[in-house]
Amino acid sequence: MRAVKWPSVSEIAWGLASDRLAIMFFVALIVVTMLAAGPLHPVDNFLNDAHRPYWDALREPLIYWPDNVASRYVALPVLGVTAVQLAYWHRSWRPIILGAGGVFGVMSMVSVMKLFINRGHAKYQDPDFFAGAGNVAFPSGHGANAILIYGLVLFLIIRFGAARPHIIKRLAYCIVGIALLQSTVSIYLQFHWFTDLLAGMIAGGFALRLTIRLDRMIPHGHTVHWWPWYGKESEVAA
């Protein structure tokens, strides 16, 4: 049996950097960041100052329920259960590796941007960047989670053939709904500026695309033999 040749670090780096869709997401993230630094302040201020009906009645229920839909405390268990179940079924570490790698990547990227840009939360009424230590609103981590984490769940289900096409379509609609719900609630509660959420979702899309690209570059058939427990025979190259 011929040994599987793994790509070198330079080959992986070039493969990720040359992906056209990833480049488009990266450029979009740069453009939105530049616009959020000034040109889109009127939009941010307009939405932040808009009237909020039923504030007293809705504020606490929204904080404890819809605002947590895209939080790591909710999204990560969904991804974890999906990845572990698929890993068990196909006797492969690939679902777990892809899930962990994608989450680590987007969390690292968002954290670095937050710390560098230092934008204050919308409740402070100041959309300027570099507002000082302790201000980490841009980009929105919840926005990134809605696309990256739930997007990874959908990708793994598609990748390992775990659902029929009509179910996959409904799951895709659910992800769009989660992203829109999270954005609406965050703006209503003045947790984030509009551009925070837009940039966060683009960052999530960027990380998701890189994860998908990385999956295509990892040699097939290797991770199957690492799996120590009993499961059904893999029908998908892993």
Q: What is the 3 state secondary structure string of the chain?
A: CCCCCCCCHHHHHHHHHCCHHHHHHHHHHHHHHHHHCCCCHHHHHHHHHCCCCCHHHHHHHHHHCHHHCCCHHHHHHHHHHHHHHHHHHHCCCHHHHHHHHHHHHHHHHHHHHHHHHCCCCHHHCCCCCCCCCCCCCCCCHHHHHHHHHHHHHHHHHHHCCCCCHHHHHHHHHHHHHHHHHHHHHHHHCCCCCHHHHHHHHHHHHHHHHHHHHHHHHCCCCCHHHHCCCCCCCCCCCC
- Contact assessment for residue 131 and residue 120, using Cβ atoms and an 8 Å cutoff: yes
What pLDDT is recorded for position 1?
Answer: 44
pTM: 0.89
Whether the predicted pLDDT of 201 surpasses 70: yes
113-117 own/partner pairs: CB under 8 Å, 24+ apart:
113/33, 113/138, 113/139, 113/199, 113/203, 114/138, 114/139, 114/141, 117/33
Lowest mean pLDDT among 54-58, 117-121, 148-152, 222-226: 222-226
The rounded distance, in Å, linking the Cα atoms of 218 and 94 is 9
pLDDT digits (tens, 9 = 90+) for 134-185: 678 999 999 999 999 999 999 999 988 877 888 899 999 999 999 999 999 9
**Residue 50 to residue 47: CA distance in whole angstroms:** 5
Half-sphere exposure of 191 (CA within 13 A, CB side): 20
Is the CB of residue 114 less than 8 Å from the CB of residue 60? Answer: no
The per-residue pLDDT for range 65-81, each reduced to its tens digit, is 898 988 889 999 999 99
